[in-house]
Structures are given as C-alpha cells and as structure tokens.
Amino acid sequence: MPDDETQTPTLNRGPAARTSHELRAQRLPGAGEAPAPWLLRLIAVGLVLAALNLRPAITSLGALLEEVREGLHMSGSVAGVLTSVPPLCFAVFGIMAPRLARRFGAGAVVCAGMVAIAAGLLIRPYIGSTAGFLAASALALMGIAVSNILMPVIVKRWFPDRVGTMTGLYSMALALGTALAAAVTVPVTGALGGDWQAGFVVWAVLAAVAVLPWIVLVRDRTPAPGQPAPAPGPDAAPAEAPALRITRSRTAWGLACFFGLQATAAYITMGWMPQIFRDAGVSAGTAGLLLAVTMAMGVPLAFVIPRVASRLKQQGPIVVVLGLCGLIGYGGLYLAPAAGAWAWALLLGVANCAFPLALTMIGMRARSGAGVVRLSAFAQSTGYLLSIPGPLLVGVLYQHSGGWGLPIALMAGLMIPQMVAGILAGRDRTIEDEC
C-alpha cells in the first residue's frame, strides 16, 4: 500500500470560496483521471458531516426515551423494541446499498441517505403516534444504513492511498456525533423549554447541512481509480463483480463476525452501562457522564487506530489489545463497579474502538472498489443481524437473575470470539484471493 501520509496538493482558495458557476465548470474525473484538489477537500468535508449524522438519531432517542414514552403513551415493551430497531434496520436496509450504488453512484446514495435522515428526524417528533414514530425512525435509520455501508467505498474510490487516514477522520467524526448527542440532547431540550420534540429537531438541522457537499457527487458514477469502467447500462457492475462469491471467503466471514460482536458490545454498552453503574450506587447524572466518557474515547482513538492499522500487514495485534481492554473493563464492572467506575468506563471506551478498526479492515481486505462495496455490505449487514439478540439477552439475564453477574459474564465471554474473529479478519489477504 502506498504511504498513508501522501499529501493532497493545496490551493489558494478552498471549495467554500468558489462560486457555483466555477463548481459546475469543473468536470468530475473519469476512470484514471486525477480528481481536482478542491473536490477532494469537499468530499473530505462531506465525509465528516455525514459521519456526524450516523448516530444522533439513536443516542438522542436514548436520552429522551422516557419523555417519548410519556408523550406518545408508549408501552414499556414497545420502548424496548425501539432499542433493537437500529441494528435490524442497518442489516435489512444495508443490503440495498451495493445495488443502489451501482445504479446511481455511491455519492448520490449517500446524499439521499442524508436527506432521509433529515426528513425522518424532522417528522418523527410531530407525527403523533407510536406507529408513525417507528416509521419515521425507520426512514432515518434507512439513510444511516446505506451511508454506513458506503463510507468505506467512498474512501476507497477517492482516497485509495489514504485509507487509514480518511477512515480515521470519519470514524472520529462518527464517535464525536455519538458522544455529542448523548451529552447535549437533554441540556438542549431544557434550553428549548423542555420540549422533547424541539430537542429532536436540532439533529434534523445537522443532517440537512450534511446534504450540501454531496450534491456535487450526485451525477458521479465513475469507478474507483485504477478500476475498469462499468459496462453501459444503469445496472451494470464492474467487470470483475460477477466472479466474486463473497460467502466463500473466510476473511469475509471473519470480518462479519468481528463486526457483529463489536456491535453487540457497543449496543450493550450504550443501552445498559448506565444502569449497571446506577445499580451499584452511582448517581444518575454521574452514570450518564460515565457513558459519555466511554463514547468520547472513540474521538481521538478512532483517528489513531485506523492510521496504525493501515500500516500493518496484519491487524491481529490491535484486535487483541482492544479485546484485553474489554476483558479488564468487564472484570472491573463485576468486581468493583462503583469504586473503579472511571477506569472501567475508559477501558470499555478503548474496547469500543473495534468499530473503526473493522471499517479500516473492510477497506484493506478487498483490492477493488466492487470488492469493497460487497464486503462492506456483507460484513455490516451480517454483523448487525448477529448483534440484534445481544442487548435483549442481557436484559433477560438481568431480569431473571436479579443482578448483573450473569450479564457481565456474558459480555466478557463474547470478547473471546471477537478476538478470534478479528485475528482471522486481520490476516494479510483479500477476499479476491479466496472467492
């Protein structure tokens, strides 16, 4: 792989300083053509803005779930279903992303995804019924799902020599959006007079802003640099695509299992960690802050880990380090949840950075743009399906055992297969070698 730190040429004027006429005058590059520096900068901005919007729809709901239940007269069982809707939607809608990208272009699909997020977040607080709230949430999650799948594809297409750097950049933005939504949704709602509906709309505005950079790429359907152009026709795929049978690849299955197990840990952490601390005697406010600290750990590490991973031939050592941090963190929760609360929150925050590592490996385990889009769809969709039972099982164990011993043991136990799957996925090979 070329050096990850290859620099982009600079311009005297950035994209913001150019007029719309100048932007229209610039041609999007075809296969083999070098993209204009202003375009690369605009895409980088688009990646960051898109990533900021990939989690607030979920974490803002968690912050205001009690208010939503009261406002919509929602039963406790339906509220519980809401916590399992995101991974289900990510799995179901994510499968659509490769075909949509081939037909309309990855940039156009991400643009539509940002529109769907903005629309879903805008209408769901005011729709006035539980069914409508679920439907509007599904619309936003559909936009998140296709964008989740296509982020590695965008990086591979436009930044083939800086996969680690750009993956780290948008992973850091994703972690920042997650932490911000968890930390500020309640204060912002209070500042708006305690209206939970207005508190949700704030995040719709952020999604609407994210639409703007992607408008430039709506008409871009060119393949990744160095890859063959698609055959004529709206449904045409790259020439090597029909021969790729991704289910035959051990690396793809390893990556899907690794992605699913890290997603399981992340959703369990987001859904249950504050309750673990509260049951141990930690105040509600401090428990929420501990969760915010865990999520915030992903901001710096999500930028560092992909850069380091992209320089290594095998990512297994990083997988093991993250897994050991998770094991120690869960062990601390079991033995002394209140006494070492801050240490356990930090360690689990490090362990949760398996997500940007998984995204980096998606970009590294395929040689072509077509391979990346198929691997991304397969690993993320399969992985999210695997993650659905985890948070529900933790709740069942907690309810029937009357304590957190068994649930924490389950969380710790899942770190072992996660490390095994990550080592398998981190080997120096590509899916094209196995399909």
Do residues 270 and 263 lie in contact, with contact meaning Cβ atoms separated by under 8 Å?
no
Q: What is the pLDDT of residue 76?
A: 59
Residue from 154, 155, 164 nearest 305 by CA: 164
CA–CA separation, 201 and 313 (whole Å): 44
| CA-angle at 87, arms to 387 and 368, nearest 5° | 90
Residue from 65, 67, 100, 71 nearest 83 by CA: 65
Compute how many other C-beta atoms are within 10 angstroms of the C-beta atom of residue 285: 8
314 to 174, 222, 320, 354, 418: CA distances (angstroms) = 25, 31, 12, 15, 16
For 216, which DSSP code? G
Amino acid at 411: M
Contacts of 96 (CB under 8 A, 6+ apart): 145, 146
Q: What is the pLDDT of residue 222?
A: 54
Residue with tokens 């009357």: 402
Q: Exposure pattern of 318-333 as b/e (b: 16+ CB <10 Å)?
A: bbeebbebbbbbbbbb
CA–CA separation, 191 and 182 (whole Å): 16
Do residues 258 and 425 lie in contact, with contact meaning Cβ atoms separated by under 8 Å?
yes
CA–CA separation, 3 and 17 (whole Å): 30
Q: What is the pLDDT of residue 236?
A: 40
- Give the residue ranges of DSSP H helices in 124-195: 130-158, 163-191
Collapsing DSSP to helix, strand or coil, 315 comes out as coil
Q: What is the pLDDT of residue 9?
A: 39
Collapsing DSSP to helix, strand or coil, 237 comes out as coil
CA–CA separation, 370 and 237 (whole Å): 8
The tens-digit pLDDT sequence of the chain (435 residues) is 444 443 333 334 444 444 433 443 344 555 456 778 888 999 999 999 999 999 898 888 766 777 787 888 876 556 666 767 888 888 888 888 888 888 888 899 999 999 999 999 999 989 888 889 989 999 999 999 999 889 888 888 888 888 888 888 888 898 888 888 877 888 888 888 888 888 889 999 999 999 999 998 887 665 444 344 444 443 343 444 445 688 889 999 999 999 999 999 988 887 788 888 888 998 877 887 888 888 888 888 888 898 899 899 999 999 999 999 999 999 999 999 999 999 999 999 999 999 989 989 998 998 887 788 889 889 988 998 998 888 778 878 887 888 899 999 999 999 999 999 999 999 999 998 886
CA–CA separation, 202 and 204 (whole Å): 5
Q: What is the pTM of this model?
A: 0.73
Compute how many other C-beta atoms are within 10 angstroms of the C-beta atom of residue 7: 7
Collapsing DSSP to helix, strand or coil, 434 comes out as coil
Q: State residue 191 phi and psi, 5-degree precision.
A: -65, -25
Which tokens go with 284? 């509600």
| CA-angle at 56, arms to 53 and 59, nearest 5° | 155
CA–CA separation, 294 and 172 (whole Å): 14
CA–CA separation, 266 and 350 (whole Å): 11
CA–CA separation, 353 and 370 (whole Å): 26
Q: What is the pLDDT of residue 13?
A: 43
